[in-house]
């Protein structure tokens, strides 16, 4: 349960990445959000139900 005001988005909402970080381990490349989503430095995610979201880095335009 989120105790922030306003409350953080739930893990199943489209903007779940906007939840606050409650534990960060940059040396290991991950952070735990308030909604129990694990986000990784490669932009991959692990949702609380075990669903994996593949890395989704923005494409870089080349000239």
Contacts of 59 (CB under 8 A, 6+ apart): none
Domain boundaries in the chain? 1-55
Q: Is the pLDDT of residue 63 over 70?
A: no
Please tell me whether the overall predicted TM-score, pTM, comes out greater than 0.75 for this model: yes
Identify whether 58 is preceded by a cis peptide bond (ω within 30 of 0).
no
pLDDT range class, residue 62, cuts 50, 70, 90: low
Mean pLDDT, residues 16-22: 93
Using the Cα atoms of residue 46, residue 47, residue 48 and residue 50 in order, give the sign of their dihedral.
negative
36 and 12 Cβ atoms separated by less than 8 Å: no
CA atoms of 10 and 27, how far apart (whole Å)? 26
């Amino acid at each position: 349960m989120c105790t922030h005001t306003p409350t953080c988005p739930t893990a199943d909402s489209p903007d779940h990445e906007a939840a606050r970080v409650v534990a960060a381990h940059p040396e290991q490349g991950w952070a735990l959000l308030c909604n129990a989503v694990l986000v990784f430095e490669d932009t991959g995610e692990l949702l609380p139900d075990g669903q994996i979201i593949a890395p989704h880095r923005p494409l870089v335009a080349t000239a």
